[in-house]
Structure 1
Amino acid sequence: METLINVFVGLHIVGIAALLGGFFFQLKEMRAGEARIVPGMLHGALTMLVTGVALVGLNQADDAEVNNVKIGIKLAVLVVILGLVYVKRDEERLPAALFGTVGALTTVNIFIAVLWT
Structure 2
Amino acid sequence: MDVLIHLFVGLHIIGIASLLGGFLTQMKQMGQGAARFSPAMLHGALTMLVTGVVLVGLNQADDNAVNNLKIGIKMAVLIVILALVYVKRDEEKVDKGVFGAVGLLTTANIFIAVLWT
Q: Secondary structure at the match of 1:63?
A: coil
Mapped partners of 1:111, 1:56: distance in 2: 18
Mapped partners of 2:79, 2:98: distance in 1: 15
Report the alpha carbon displacement of residue 95 of structure 1 after superposing the two structures with TM. 1.1
Match of 1:46 in 2: 46
After superposition, the C-alpha distances for 1:65-111 in whole angstroms (9 at most, x for unaligned) are 00000000000000000000000000000111110000000000000
Mapped partners of 1:106, 1:7: distance in 2: 21
Match of 1:107 in 2: 107
Do residues 72 (structure 1) and 68 (structure 2) align?
no
Q: Secondary structure at the match of 2:36?
A: coil
The CA RMSD measured in Å over matched residues stands at 0.3
Do residues 21 (structure 1) and 24 (structure 2) align?
no
- TM-score of the two chains, using structure 1 as the length reference: 0.99
Match of 1:116 in 2: 116
Mapped partners of 2:106, 2:24: distance in 1: 11
Question: What is the letter of the counterpart of residue 96 of structure 1?
Answer: K
Mapped partners of 1:62, 1:10: distance in 2: 18
Match of 1:63 in 2: 63
Mapped partners of 2:89, 2:109: distance in 1: 21
Structure 1, unaligned runs of 5 or more: none
Kindly tell me the number of residue pairs found equivalent between the two proteins. 117
Mapped partners of 2:99, 2:69: distance in 1: 27
- The runs of 4+ residues in structure 1 deviating greater than 2 Å are none
Mapped partners of 1:25, 1:51: distance in 2: 24
Structure 2, unaligned runs of 5 or more: none
Match of 1:6 in 2: 6
Identity rate, percent? 73
Report the alpha carbon displacement of residue 31 of structure 1 after superposing the two structures with TM. 0.2
Match of 1:96 in 2: 96
Mapped partners of 2:101, 2:76: distance in 1: 14
Question: What is the letter of the counterpart of residue 76 of structure 2?
Answer: A
